Amino acid sequence: MSSTTSAANPSAQVTVQVEGKSVTFPTQLYINGEWVNGHGTPLKSFNPATEELITAVHTADENDIELAVQAAREAFETTWSLNVAGAERGRLLYKFADIIEANLDTVVALEAADGGKPLQWARGDLMASLAAIRYYAGMADKIQGFTCEVGDPSKSVTVRKEPIGVVAQIVPWNFPVMMWAWKIAPALAAGCSIIFKPAENTPLAALYLTKLMEQVGWPKGAFNLLNGTGKVVGEPLALHMDIDKIAFTGSTAVGRHISACAAKSNLKRVTLELGGKSPNIVFPSANLQEAAKWAAFGLFETSGQSCIVGSRILVHEDIYENFVSDFVKVVEKIRVGKDPKAFYGSLISKVQFDKVLNYIEIGKKESKLETGGARHGDKGYFVQPTVFSNVNMTHQIAREEIFGPVASIIKFKDEKEAISIANDTTYGLAAAVHTLDASQMARVTRRLRAGTVWVNQYSVLHPNVPFGGVRQSGVGRELGPNGIENYLETKVKADD
């Protein structure tokens, strides 16, 4: 892997070799429709599958942040927002999706290299991203209010939906492009102007996508991009008095801090999609082979580095031994590595790699290791798919979000206990129920405290279906009609 820049002093543009492709893109900040040098400490971007440096990128300091906020505010007040009709905003989003699709292989290559993903998964993320952009393109001219009578038949009230204003958006490293789409598409469809901060570990696809955005024709300042760390860039955005909303996807700890910053500053609106420790419940009536396959899919996709992974697999005592056997057989067939046919790739960094291996060592002391439990290969941050049985809710691996390919299989004796164990967590992002009993399906899904409950499947998402969590898994919903509502205010006009 090669680059035409140095890590200490990034050039304005680089050419890198990723996944057999030569890709050229800017490494600077994007402010007010221009690529400009950042004045912060450069960030290095590594391929975690090879541990090799890809390139370094510019980052923002406080003055760069201020320029971006000013540009976004100016665009919102003058050239964007209510000055561009919804149909035109939709047209621009459709055009952007078409441009991305025309460059799909390049974006996929950058996403795969920057995040250590197999190409097939990076491609799947891109296709999901295009679906989300096109969904919100179609909603841009369908933002509706209403008019109602207020007592006196001669008087009425008009309720309008208007864009919130300047929004800051911060995304994680596990789904850099998909989270990009989930954030920017509804915000632009609503007419907000954006300051976007990619994850510090995975900035490259966002830079390339911003380069593609220049072909669309957005007004200057409608979209701005600032690279940097959470402390140097993310926190000042959350504290800024002229930003009207912040949307964040990431850890619960950081989400809590962002929420506090928003309250401490101007009480800006906040949308948070945070962590999870999701239960995947298997009842005796389930098709065990299918349940085992879905449980493996729902845990090991993205190397287990997803907030929705079903890392707690709850299994009825009558089928426990049979399920464990079936599940281990499925898991031991999982292919790991850079191979395009691999089911999952590397962890994102040495820090995450060490963290997951430490949890595995804890699990070996707490419970029974069924398979895996070690590094995969001798280069790159790959970890074997790991399964622990005889786990209970006093165990650390059952309570804490590991964010790696580690399964905890927990036994329960009846439906009541299954629900109790499933809800015994501070999180509430997702859950799943595997049963062929329709009555049980209805009872259990209703009682689980989670934003999404899948039945006889796992991790199936659609752009028109709201997604988000309860309790410490977040605030608000993305996707679906809720996604655009996040970026709209309600205004009432009362007639004389």
Marked catalytic residue, from 111, 200, 273, 370: 273
Give me the pLDDT at residue 149, please: 84
Give me the pLDDT at residue 4, please: 42
pLDDT of 427-483, one tens digit each? 999 999 999 999 999 999 999 999 999 999 999 999 999 999 999 999 999 999 999
Least Cα distance to 196 among 60, 97, 90 occurs for 60
pLDDT band per the 50, 70, 90 thresholds, residue 3: very low
Check whether 6 has a pLDDT greater than 60: no
Give me the pLDDT at residue 150, please: 85
Give me the pLDDT at residue 8, please: 56
Task: Report the C-alpha gap between 312 and 421 in whole angstroms.
Answer: 10
Say whether 192 is catalytic: no
The lowest-confidence range among 11-20, 52-61, 361-370 is 11-20
pLDDT of 36-48, one tens digit each? 999 999 999 999 9
pLDDT of 185-204, one tens digit each? 999 999 999 999 999 999 99
Topology of domain 13-274+474-494, CATH = Aldehyde Dehydrogenase; Chain A, domain 1 (3.40.605)
Q: What percent of the chain has pLDDT over 70?
A: 98
Check whether 1 has a pLDDT greater than 60: no
Compute the average pLDDT of residues 348-357: 97
Give me the pLDDT at residue 156, please: 86
Check whether 5 has a pLDDT greater than 50: no
The lowest-confidence range among 13-22, 262-271, 350-359 is 13-22
Say whether 273 is catalytic: yes
Q: Is 13-274+474-494's fold the same as 279-463's?
A: no
Check whether 28 has a pLDDT greater than 70: yes
Task: Quote the radius of gyration of the chain (alpha carbons, Å).
Answer: 23
pLDDT band per the 50, 70, 90 thresholds, residue 496: low
Which two structure tokens, joined as six digits, stand for 390? Answer: 């005889």
Check whether 2 has a pLDDT greater than 50: no
* pTM of this structure: 0.95
pLDDT band per the 50, 70, 90 thresholds, residue 59: very high
Question: What residues form DSSP beta bridges with 409?
Answer: 313
The lowest-confidence range among 6-15, 176-185, 333-342 is 6-15
Task: Report the C-alpha gap between 189 and 93 in whole angstroms.
Answer: 8
| Residues in Cβ contact with 73 at an 8 Å cutoff, skipping those fewer than 6 apart | 165, 166, 193, 221, 242
CA torsion, ordered 188, 194, 197, 203, to nearest 10 deg: 50
Task: Report the C-alpha gap between 403 and 173 in whole angstroms.
Answer: 12
- Indicate the CATH number for domain 279-463: 3.40.309.10
For the chain, what are the domain ranges? 13-274+474-494, 279-463
Marked catalytic residue, from 307, 401, 478, 485: 307
pLDDT of 142-170, one tens digit each? 999 999 888 888 888 999 999 999 999 99
> To 10 degrees, what angle do helices 104-115 and 86-102 make?
80
Alpha helices in 140-201 (DSSP H): 176-190
